[in-house]
Copies of this chain bind each other. A is one copy, B any other.
Amino acid sequence: MQQVAITQKVNGLEVAQLFETIDAIKQAPNLADFKFRLANKWIDGTRNRSQITNFYGVGQENKHEPEFVLDTDEPPLLLGTGQYPNPVEYLLHAVTACVTGAIVYHAAARGIHIQEMESRTEGEVDLRGFLGLDNNIRPGLEKLRIKFKIKADVPDERLAELLQLGPKYSPVFDTITRSAPVEVGLDN
């Protein structure tokens, strides 16, 4: 008798592997400790570049192959050369991608198939905060909005519940809405 490996994908994810990961973490919670990292180098003016080569997780060091490179710039009206997204646009991408991913994983774990999902994101900032022109105005974003269109095999009245899996479980959403400490120091 031959054992047949059954691989079932839901939303493009191997659900069996997802539950194996969850079981492994239940047995050894330290497998859940992840450290993500990057190295950044200022190039000139508004340009800088991050290299992302490795991360720690499931109890070991892991390499990205190939490594990732992310480039920053600003549009010309903010003194840049307009070649690459700016940091706020990267932040909008981080939160949108993370909420999307959280919905996909948690829907898969519940056996909910998603056919299509897209979203539009907007973040508002008053540049007077960044420029230091008014101490009452924060440098940061005052408001972010993400609007989703989702097609999934749940009744329309349950789509809002499906959507809420994103804000509930997304690491980046949680980091922004509930804040996180950022230590900035010199290492000269």
Which residues of A are interface residues toward B (Cβ below 8 A)? Answer: 9, 11-14, 17-18, 21-22, 25-26, 29, 32-42, 44-48, 50, 52, 55, 57-58, 62, 64-65, 68, 70, 72, 74-75, 77-79, 82, 84-102, 104-106, 114, 116-133, 138-150, 156, 159-160, 163-164, 166-188
Contact = CB atoms under 8 A, between A and B. Distances in A.
Smallest CB-CB A-B distances: 5 pairs:
A12-B45, A140-B174, A87-B98, A140-B175, A147-B187
Given A40-B119, A96-B38, A182-B95, A131 B88 contact: no
Nearest to A160: B186
Contacts of A148: 184-188
Interface of A, secondary structure class, is mixed
Nearest to A131: B22
Contacts of A50: 92-93, 96-97
A34 to B, nearest CB: 5
A184 B92 contact: no
A22 to B, nearest CB: 6
B140 A180 contact: yes
A75 to B, nearest CB: 6
Given A36-B92, A146-B184, A185-B147, A141 B175 contact: yes
A129 to B, nearest CB: 7
A5 to B, nearest CB: 16
Given A82-B65, A84-B68, A159 B171 contact: no
B125 A101 contact: no
B144 A159 contact: no
Contacts of A106: 132
A106 to B, nearest CB: 7
Given A88-B94, A93-B38, A45 B180 contact: no
